[in-house]
Amino acid sequence: MPTFAAIDIGSNSCRMKIAKVVTHRLKTLAEDREVTRLGASVFESGLISPEAMAATLRALKRFQRAVQAHGVDQIRVAATSAMRDARNGAAFQAWVRAETGWNMEIISGLEEGRLIHLGVTGGEPGAGGKVLLLDLGGGSCEITLSEHKRIKETVSLPLGAVRLTEQFLATDPAPREGLARMRQLIARELRRAHRKIQPGKVPLVIATSGTAAALSEACASKPASERGSKQAKAPAGGLAPAKAVRKLASKLAKMSLPERESVPGIGPRRAEIIVAGAAVFAELLESFGLPGFRYSPLGLRDGILAQMLAGQDARAKVHREFEHERWESVLGTARRYGVDPRQAEPVRAHALQLFRELRSLHQLPSEYEAWLAAAAVLRDTGKFVNHQGHHRHTQYIVSSSEIYGYTQLQRTIVSAIARYLGKSRPQPGDRAMRNIPAEEHKNVHSAVVLLRLAEALNQDRASDVLRVAVKVYPKRVYLELEPGRTGAELELWSLRRESSYFREVFGRELFVTLK
């Protein structure tokens, strides 16, 4: 069974989790965490400091030894808010790659929220109904409304504990003016969140990350009289009532660093940023009218592991959920840019037929089947910008859009497949190709040919969908068309125009005939 590793490079700390697949489920083998404060200098100067880079790299090298010791088969390294903001992020990515061989992926705030949702709803009891997820990291805060394990809305706000501490709380104890300005910013960002997320009555609120853990433990250590009513009493499960969080946030804001360090559950490193983190939670709970939150140790790395499981094990339950969510996101993106998925369906169906029946010829990895289907549906999104040169616009839209379940590299590959449906062919120096590893270029060429053939099969949209039979021989490939009500002359001509490119990529002659 494969073994996976997920590494979360956050603005405050780096986390690693290693898990093995056992009977289509994940079994945790190892976990590690190191506070590196990668975002501290970013939120002040826009640059990652050399010290933070070095500290993060030391943690990653320690993680690498654990990865090697457990014989990990697949690893994904994801960086969040600090790396999204850092002007020298590309230099640090290159340094990490040179020292570890790992490709550090910078994920968006919405993708971060989606992965946290995947990790929490997949492993937290009671998270299958209506639930509000709160993840307060060092650089950002993700708020996600979920019903029946489906994301209804998600928003990412620049309200991380490290970010706010650097911006407003430069001295200790926290300055009164800085606290006031920080609360004004928090209130403003929460008003923005309200425009997108209106949860109403939510039976369950789950919070993740170190700040949530610290507040939950600190609230649980209080006597019942300080926590509020008997119903709000914090059980061993980690409930933090809103009233207790508000009271604790106010108390922490008046404390010095040594005093905060002595609060149960907070500790030395968390004490440095807990004032800002507690203020965000207090304002958030009050703003949304929430009774409190339940802490969960699950988070981003668990979502990354779940997604790796979904991609590798078709029999895992998470696979079906992941594929459904990913495809719904593709359809939603198409509609956003004026594409009717029903009109794109014949092209998608033909592309998948050709993928399956020409598998011995193209030998594409299995994941290209989903990427080809996505490119077929999204290929006309560029017309939203301009019909002229719309293939170039499509490439930009697809590569830049938030499509759940696709990494930046995967979106770039999908955008390249959808890009080359006009006169041009993929070239290594093209904008669409330059961020795709050289070893993938041949695969992109093959997928482009399949999509061009599928589009050629659907030239006359007024006619009924053509049926095509595929026959593969050692030196040639035959496509036999069954004409529709209005014939198939235009499709026949269009397919024959693709024969030279087909021969260039696959080394075989393409013959197109009518039945």
Compare 405 and 420 and report the one with higher pLDDT.
Answer: 420
Asked if 426 contacts 440 with a C-beta cutoff of 8 angstroms, the reply is: no
pLDDT of amino acid 238:
63
Specify the amino acid at residue 53.
M
Cis check for the bond before 50: say yes or no (omega within 30 of 0).
Answer: no
Q: 32-36, 51-55, 81-85, 306-310: which range is least confident on average?
A: 306-310
Asked if 13 contacts 138 with a C-beta cutoff of 8 angstroms, the reply is: yes
Three-state DSSP at 469 gives strand
**Beta strands of 55-148 (E only): which ranges?**
74-79, 104-106, 130-136, 141-147
Q: How many helices (H) and strands (E) does the chain have?
A: 23, 14
Domain spanning 3-107: CATH superfamily: ATPase, nucleotide binding domain (3.30.420.40)
Q: Which of 472, 476, 478 is nearest to 507 (CA)?
A: 476
Asked if 79 contacts 118 with a C-beta cutoff of 8 angstroms, the reply is: no
Q: At residue 324, does pLDDT exceed 90?
A: no
Q: Are strands 292-295 and 204-208 parallel, antiparallel or unpaired?
A: parallel
pLDDT of amino acid 129:
87
- Cα dist. 370→248, 348, 394, 442 in Å? 49, 10, 18, 17
Q: At residue 427, does pLDDT exceed 80?
A: yes
As a whole number, mean pLDDT of residues 398-427 equals 91
Asked if 326 contacts 405 with a C-beta cutoff of 8 angstroms, the reply is: yes
- List, for residues 244-264, the tens digit of each pLDDT value: 999 999 999 999 999 999 999
Q: So what CATH class is 125-297?
A: alpha beta
pLDDT of amino acid 226:
46
Asked if 18 contacts 27 with a C-beta cutoff of 8 angstroms, the reply is: no
Q: At residue 394, does pLDDT exceed 50?
A: yes
pLDDT of amino acid 228:
44
Per the DSSP assignment, residues forming a β-bridge with 104 are 77
Compare 125 and 347 and report the one with higher pLDDT.
Answer: 347
- List, for residues 193-241, the tens digit of each pLDDT value: 999 998 888 889 999 999 999 999 998 875 544 444 433 333 334 689 9
Mean predicted lDDT score pLDDT of the chain: 91
Task: Round to whole Å and give the CA distance between 257 and 275.
Answer: 10
Element (H, E) at 371: helix 367-378
Percentage of residues in the chain with pLDDT exceeding 90? 76
Cis check for the bond before 173: say yes or no (omega within 30 of 0).
Answer: yes
The CATH topology of domain 315-458 is: Hypothetical protein af1432 (1.10.3210)
Domain with CATH 1.10.3210.10 in the chain: 315-458
pLDDT of amino acid 230:
38
- List, for residues 117-140, the tens digit of each pLDDT value: 999 988 888 888 899 999 999 999
As a whole number, mean pLDDT of residues 145-155 equals 90
Task: Round to whole Å and give the CA distance between 513 and 478.
Answer: 7
Q: At residue 295, does pLDDT exceed 80?
A: yes
Asked if 88 contacts 18 with a C-beta cutoff of 8 angstroms, the reply is: no
pLDDT of amino acid 227:
41
Q: At residue 185, does pLDDT exceed 50?
A: yes
Domain with CATH 3.30.420.150 in the chain: 125-297
Task: Round to whole Å and give the CA distance between 188 and 1.
Answer: 48
**Residue with the two structure tokens 């759940």:** 404
**Beta strands of 182-336 (E only): which ranges?**
204-208, 239-241, 292-295
Characterise 303 by phi-psi region: left (phi > 0), alpha (psi -120 to 50), beta (else).
alpha
Number of neighbouring beta carbons within 10 Å of residue 416: 28
Compare 223 and 141 and report the one with higher pLDDT.
Answer: 141
Domain with CATH 3.30.420.40 in the chain: 3-107
Task: Round to whole Å and give the CA distance between 105 and 343.
Answer: 34
Element (H, E) at 7: strand 3-9
**φ/ψ of residue 10, rounded to 5:** -90, 175
